[in-house]
Structure 1
Amino acid sequence: MENDLRKITLFVCLVALCASAPALAQNAAPCSDERARQLDFWLGEWDLTWQGGEGTNEITRRFGDCVIEENFSGNMPAGLFIGHSVSVYSTALEQWRQTWVDSQGSYLVFTGGIGEDGVMRLRGESTLKPDGRTQDTRMSWLNVEGDSLDWHWEQSFDGGETWSMVWLIHYQRR
């Protein structure tokens, strides 16, 4: 009798497990959304060049492929500049979110995505400069090819009506 009870209990557990499998499949991880793959072109190991400097950037997926992690290192006139970012796609907000920190003490937050022009852009939070002006910043990935791309860092002092180039980095895949 005790053996029959174990068999029935095991059978009920197996049926419950099989019945829950479709529900688990329907609740796929948010990072499985195809939009969470929009930055995959950026993944890899890169050699970087810009006017007056050079560096490297390593972009990987982490934490179950849900987070894109960036590790930047560059030779600047003032010395070695190191930065780190994490980027995730928020299905709730339907946009990308990035947090950047670096060896100069910066902590920057960006949001954005692919615009109507097909360009991936992330825009930073507005900051008040010492002279009283409000500065907006954004980054854009342009001229994306299999083994190269250009990354633009721009600023605006008129609420984003016009943008001026601050830093253009050319990426070449290793």
Structure 2
Amino acid sequence: MRLLLSIALFFLMSFHSLQGYGQGSNNACNTPEHRQFDFWVGDWNVLDANGTQLGTSKVELILNDCVIFENWTSNNPGYAGKSFNYYNPFTAKWNQKWIDTNGLPIEFEGSFDPEAQALIYSATTLNQNGQLVQNKLSFYKKSEDYVNQVWEQSTDAGNTWRVVFDGHYYRKSD
């Protein structure tokens, strides 16, 4: 039901945006809040903490700069993923819709922390045993050419956290 409401809201916002564009209005996504995550846009080599290449990621602005679209390609043959990231002005939250080649979707919601220069998402999912899993997905802007993505999970209501992905994104040279 939550997914259906999210999809309906997405299409409602899209239709509303299209109506405005047809009438010559300014880009509805040209606000400071919509630009908070632009530091992730680019072509990236993704390494682990030891410098081993994990994959590549092409992150681009699409749909009148309203969506930050990630195209992840893993070094593990056959594994890839995509994410749609967007700022929702109705909730004042960032949303990420992730899907991978295993067909496993995750829907995150979060906000930008200006002090940490990070976008921090959270989500609750179920693991294969039906156990609730809390997810924390953080993107830290370290410099113009370096972003650190850390994905943590907890199965004990947030008392302890385990890092499941620590990706170091280095901007590719032109």
- Tell me which interval the TM-score lies in, with the shorter structure as reference length: 0.7 to 0.9
Secondary structure of 1:89's partner? strand
Aligned residue number for residue 122 of structure 1: 121
Larger Rg: 1
Give the match for residue 156 of structure 2: 158
SS in 2 for 1:37: coil
1:14-65 Cα deviation digits (max 9, x unpaired): xxxxxxxxxx79x754412211111010000000112665210001001111
Q: Which amino acid aligns with 1:120?
A: L
How many angstroms apart in 2 are the aligned matches of 1:130 and 1:103? Answer: 17
TM normalised by structure 2 equals 0.75
RMSD over aligned Cα, in angstroms? 2.1
- Offset, 1:134: 1.3
Partner of 1:63: 63
SS at match of 1:48: strand
After TM superposition, give the deviation of residue 130 of structure 1 in Å. 4.1
Structure 1, residues 51-95: CA drift from partner, whole Å, max 9, x if none? 66521000100111111100000113xx33100011110011001
Aligned: 1:89 with 2:84:
no
Contact 1:30 1:91 in 2 (8 A): no
Moved more, 50-59 or 143-152: 50-59
| Greater Cα offset, 65-74 or 140-149 | 140-149
Partners of 2:69 and 2:141 in 1: how far apart? 22
Instruction: State the TM-score, normalizing by the size of structure 1.
Output: 0.75
Aligned sequence identity (%): 30
* Aligned residues between the structures: 147
Amino acid at match of 2:34: A
